[in-house]
Each structure stands twice: as C-alpha cells, then as structure tokens.
Structure 1
Amino acid sequence: MTTANHGTGAAMGRITLLVKAARMYHEEGILQPEIADRLNISQSRVSRLLKEAQRLGIVRTVVVAPPGVYAELEQQVRTTFGLQDVVIADAASDDDPGVLSALGPTAAAYIQETLRAGERIGISSRSASLLAMVEALAPITAGPAEVVVQTLGAVGNPAMRAQAPRLTDRLAQLTGGEPIYLPTPGVVTSRAVRDGLLADPYIADAVRAWQTLSVLITGIGSAQPSAQRPWGTALPAEDLDQLTDLNAVGDVCLNFFTADGLPVRGPISDRVIGIGADELRAIPRRIAVAGGSVKVPAIGAAARGGWINVLITDQFTARRLLED
C-alpha cells in the first residue's frame, strides 16, 4: 500500500468513526459513556468526535418551528427595527377581535416567563391589549415585583377612565408588587392645572416612581381610528387637529411622534399628566403590546424612534411592518 493510499484509508476510517458516533448519539439517543464502551474509545474522544462531526457538516442542527410559532418572522422584525425582542402571537383572524384574543394570552405568557423578582413595573392606562393581557395572566410565583406604577392618568369615556386604576391594581395583585396609582385625568385643561396636580404629594409618589422603573408595559396609540382605543375617544377634536397638522402618527403614554419616530410637541404636551419622553426612554425594558392593520404606522414609528424595545404583536401586523 502506498503512503497516499494509507493516508486516504486512515482518513476514511476516521470519517467512518465520526459518522458512527454521531448516529449513535443523535439518531439512537445513546449517551456518550455507552458510545465510548461500544466503540472501545475514551469518553473524551467521543466528545471530540461529536464536535468534529458538527464542524465538518456531518451533523447539521435544524430547528423546526411548529405551526403557530413565527421564529423567522420574529427575527426579521427584530433585525429590521433594531429591537431587543419580538414575540408574535398566532391570531386566528386579521380583525380587531381576532388580534386582541391572540395578543392577550401571548403577552401574558411573555410577562410570566420574563419578569424577575424585584421588578419595578410601569403600566399604561389606555390599551385594550393590556386589559386582555392582564385578564389572561396567572399569578406570578417566581418572585414578587417591588411596585406596579400607573404611568398615565385616565383618558377617554367613563368606562375607559375606570380601566386605569383597575389595570394597575390587578397587575399588582398578580405580580405581588405594591400598586402606585395616578389618580388624575391624563389630559387636563391647562398647564397650570397640570402643575397644580403634580404638586399633590399623593400624585408626586407616582411621578417619583417613574424615575426608577425597570420595565414598562404599554400599548401604542394610533392616529387612525381603531376599536382598540382611537385618539378620538380620548382627546378633544381641537387637539386631534393640531396633532394631525404636526404629522403625529402615534403615541406611547401620550408622548406623540412622527412616522420617523421623532417627538411631536404641541399645545397638548403641556397638559398631559403622564411619564415624559426622557423618563420613558430611560426605562431598560419597554414592552409594547399592539397589533392590527391601523396600528402599523404607529408601531413602526414607535420602534424606529426607540420608544419601545420589545414588541408583542400578531403575524399579520408583523408582515405589514416589514412591507411598510
């Protein structure tokens, strides 16, 4: 046998051993100590063979997402908008009821899995998707939150205004955190009224708590009419006209922004009682729960402008975001 043939034979012998070890481990489920015994080699050599099999492409790892899991779509949205995380709910239909029924449980599961003990949680007060999330959330036993803070005063009709403290209270119960309420309107008649309310010690507790939040859970408001919380049910017509003139497309906690995510300051900005833009963007984790076709411009703008860094949405909205 020539040296060349000998070298080829040795190489093929090693490849044969690699394949044999890899098949035993990955296809037959045999543990490394037993593979070592069967092949009469050391366990450390088995480990090296398995690593080499991966390096040479003999073993290829393929992750197959089951139906209803959108891992590739999540990655595309995350990369396109520079987000920290994206979670996509499997909505049965592309209308508001279908989207909401999927967003609630999906957001609840995400919160259940990712909240840590001692979190200081801020929650917005005007979002049907947040209400659906809280209704689907089970008590979190991994460790209590420290506080749950209302980040925006109540807005909208009487039913919507009553939702704000209920959301805060229920989330506090489920997470074990102390509730801190903001018992004011979200929009008042003048800057002087706002400043007077902010001077109240009870309200000041919430304002101080905004400085140290570790996570914000919020919806995203849209300039377009939506059954989920149109601006028209929360803001006077004069304010809506001014925001339209200023090219506002959406808001987070009534912090308004353009399609590029740039802040919009209008006369209404001095009358809002809620967390400000700088305080909001300083929160390490800013989770938005939002979906629906009319919300697409606002969601994209919120992501571009850094108003949020985690997005929980549905597959229809996610695809539109990539097309927008």
Structure 2
Amino acid sequence: MADGKEEFSTIRQIHTVLVLHFIDGMKQNDIAAALNLSPSKVNRLIAQGRKLGMLKIAIESPFQLLVEIEQKLVAFSGLQSALVTPTVIGSPDSTLQQVGRAAANQLLETLRDGDVIAITGGKAVSAVVENIEAERPFNVTVVPLTGGVQGKFYTDVNHLATRLAERLGGSTLLLHAPLFAESSTQRDLLMDMASVREVFDLARKAAIALVGIGSIQTPGSSYFDLLPTSGPDREILARSGAVGEFLAHLIREDGTIADYPPNSRLVALEPADLSRCRMVMGVASGVEKVQPIRAALSGGYLKSLVVDEDTAHAVLGTTGSIRNVA
C-alpha cells in the first residue's frame, strides 16, 4: 500500500490534471506535454479521478423543466424516449415548427446509412421534413406508409417522401395508390399489386417510422376534411368510439382499431405492422391531439414522441397552460 506522502502526491496530480482538462479545457495531449507525462498516464489519472469521485459535473439548463416532463412521459407511457419543446403561446404554427425542428434533429441523430424511413402524411410530418438540415448526404430510402390524397402538400405522402429523400440526399420509392379505395375488394386488389406490395414490404422493415397522430375533431382535422360534409360516413364516425387517427386508421381510447367501415378501404399498413421498426417517432402538437396521442400510447404503437410542453402536460394530466382537456 502506498504511504501517505505518495498517496497525497498522486491525488494532487489527479487534481491538477482534472482542473487543466475540465476547467481550463486543455486537451489530454497538451496536458501530457505541459506536465511531462505520457498521454496514457494522463488518461489513467482522469480515470482514477472519476473512480475516486473527484469529478462531479453539474449542468444548469433553462430547459430542465422540459427534461422532467420528458422523463414523466417515458414513465407514464413506456416510451423509449420523449422530446418536449416550449409552447409558443398564441401561435400554434410556431409551436408546430418548433416541434418539427426538434423531431428533425432527433431523426438525424438516429439515422444510419442504409436505413429505410417510412412516413405518413400530415402537417406535423411536413414540419419535420421542412426542418431537416443534414450536414452530409445519407444513403437512405424513404417510402410512404399510406396511400396519398391529392390537393394539399401535407396530405400527399409521395410529395413528402420525395422531399425528405431530397433533403437527406437519399432515394425514394413512391406509392401510386389512393388512401381510400372505393371498396374493400378494390383495396385488396390494390394491396396485392406488385408495385404497392413492394413499397409496403419495405415499409414493414423500416428502421424508422415517422408518423403523425391525427385528430378527428373539426376544425383542423386533416382526416375529417377527407369525408363528405354530410352522409353516413360522418354519422357512423360519431358512433364508432374513435378518438384519433393513426396510419389513417381510426382508433379508440385503448388504441384498438375502431369499427368504422372506411377503415376496411384503407390502402395503408396497419398500426401493428410498425412493431419491428427500430424507432417509431410520433410527432404532434395542439390540444386537439391529446386524446389521439393517449390512444396511440395505449395501443403501444410509439417508441418515441415529440410534442410541445402544453400538449405534454395535457397528455399527462398535469398542470400546464391547457385546461379542461378531456
């Protein structure tokens, strides 16, 4: 065992190295030269300092409260991760853009060359796509998870897939089929077409699924806008028990697929088909998305969730700016 003098000498050397590296910001090679030590010795001294508990790192952040909400969401839902952004009071569009930027950064941190990314349509997914700023090209393939709806850029999933591939420097495989077939028989025929089957087979094996979580409340619901302004579909919708939309399927509070006839005409993967994805990232913002988010979480469809602070509070049922959320 080393005597007291040798032990003090070693501890003092460790202290000096820790101060130079973590306080003064010197590189280990520079410390080695300044103290006439080998780089490996400097590395060992830092490791010893950690082991002896001499190094304590504290990070003060204005976003600590958001981190705590993220931790609560993970504990509440069984998610692998959650990301919460500040809510811009009085500006839903700005709030959505902040959520989109955060999700875009998380996507880039998760992405690997060779990955397949499968996406839905929707305003939130569009916000993610438009906020992608890749520092280098990625060798990835982007595919749709659903058929498309013409007329709006954010409901045209082929447009979003192409745009995302362009921004990442990858390629895309498009799905030339509508979101709704005219009948369940036509839907089965479309799903069995070689070109459609190829896209969906690839989507089932995707590393990352980027998905919106839809409201069926009006106004502001992309799904509701797809239905006739009156008629049996809307009457049945009111009786179906559906509270939200996921991969264009209407789902109940417990996440199960609602007994709603248009579900049988969907040209889309089913929510359970995403279970093999490395990451299923849900992106949403706004009070109208609270019930749909809860339903998607109850169904176990998500592995990651990106939302704004007020929406997160409402999902958790904790105090936030949103009040009286069902």
State whether structure 2 residue 292 is matched by structure 1 residue 302.
Answer: no
Larger Rg: 1
Conservation of the 8 A alpha-carbon contact between 2:126 and 2:154:
no
State whether structure 2 residue 185 is matched by structure 1 residue 186.
Answer: no
> Structure 1 residues 107 and 279, CA, compared in 2 at 3 Å: closer, same or farther?
same
Percent sequence identity over aligned pairs: 24
Equivalence for 1:61: 57
Equivalence for 2:105: 109
Conservation of the 8 A alpha-carbon contact between 1:94 and 1:316:
no
| Whole-Å separation in 2 of the counterparts to 1:132 and 1:300 | 21
Amino acid at match of 2:288: V
Conservation of the 8 A alpha-carbon contact between 2:117 and 2:203:
no
State whether structure 2 residue 308 is matched by structure 1 residue 314.
Answer: yes
After superposition, residues 109-258 of structure 1 pair within 5 angstroms as: 109-125=105-121, 127-139=122-134, 141=136, 143-145=138-140, 147-155=141-149, 158-159=151-152, 163-227=156-220, 229-236=221-228, 237=230, 238-258=232-252
Conservation of the 8 A alpha-carbon contact between 1:68 and 1:90:
no
Equivalence for 1:90: 86
Deviations for 1:86-113, whole angstroms, at most 9, x for unmatched residues?
1222332254213222122222222222
Conservation of the 8 A alpha-carbon contact between 1:65 and 1:71:
no
| Whole-Å separation in 1 of the counterparts to 2:235 and 2:13 | 70
| Cα offset, 1:46, TM superposition | 4.3
Deviations for 1:38-91, whole angstroms, at most 9, x for unmatched residues?
9xxx8688447623542xxx6533222245983222222122111112122233
| Whole-Å separation in 2 of the counterparts to 1:148 and 1:249 | 29
| Cα offset, 1:196, TM superposition | 2.6
Deviations for 1:290-320, whole angstroms, at most 9, x for unmatched residues?
1111101111221221111111111111122
Conservation of the 8 A alpha-carbon contact between 1:33 and 1:43:
yes
| Whole-Å separation in 2 of the counterparts to 1:23 and 1:207 | 55
| Whole-Å separation in 2 of the counterparts to 1:144 and 1:44 | 36
- Supply the RMSD in Å over aligned alpha carbons: 3.3
Equivalence for 2:321: none
| Cα offset, 1:191, TM superposition | 0.7
Conservation of the 8 A alpha-carbon contact between 1:91 and 1:101:
no
| Cα offset, 1:268, TM superposition | 1.8
> Structure 1 residues 165 and 254, CA, compared in 2 at 3 Å: closer, same or farther?
same
Conservation of the 8 A alpha-carbon contact between 2:14 and 2:45:
no
**SS at structure 2 position matched to 1:138:** coil
Mean CA deviation greater in 169-178 or 127-136: 169-178
Amino acid at match of 1:107: A
| Whole-Å separation in 1 of the counterparts to 2:52 and 2:172 | 55
Amino acid at match of 1:137: I
Conservation of the 8 A alpha-carbon contact between 2:118 and 2:143:
yes
| Whole-Å separation in 1 of the counterparts to 2:135 and 2:269 | 26
Conservation of the 8 A alpha-carbon contact between 2:272 and 2:301:
no
> Structure 1 residues 26 and 175, CA, compared in 2 at 3 Å: closer, same or farther?
closer
Equivalence for 1:51: 50
| Whole-Å separation in 2 of the counterparts to 1:269 and 1:185 | 13
Equivalence for 2:253: 259
User: Structure 2: 5+ residue runs without aligned partners?
Assistant: 319-326
| Whole-Å separation in 1 of the counterparts to 2:43 and 2:196 | 64
| Cα offset, 1:286, TM superposition | 0.7
| Cα offset, 1:151, TM superposition | 1.1
**SS at structure 2 position matched to 1:286:** strand
Conservation of the 8 A alpha-carbon contact between 2:125 and 2:212:
yes
| Whole-Å separation in 2 of the counterparts to 1:214 and 1:24 | 42
Conservation of the 8 A alpha-carbon contact between 2:153 and 2:160:
no
Q: TM-score, normalization: structure 2?
A: 0.79
Equivalence for 1:283: 277
Deviations for 1:149-205, whole angstroms, at most 9, x for unmatched residues?
1111123x7225863221111112223333222222212221122123223333232
Conservation of the 8 A alpha-carbon contact between 1:19 and 1:53:
no
Amino acid at match of 2:287: S
Equivalence for 2:324: none
| Cα offset, 1:27, TM superposition | 4.6
> Structure 1 residues 48 and 273, CA, compared in 2 at 3 Å: closer, same or farther?
closer
> Structure 1 residues 244 and 188, CA, compared in 2 at 3 Å: closer, same or farther?
same
User: Structure 1: 5+ residue runs without aligned partners?
Assistant: 1-8
Equivalence for 1:4: none
| Cα offset, 1:266, TM superposition | 2.7
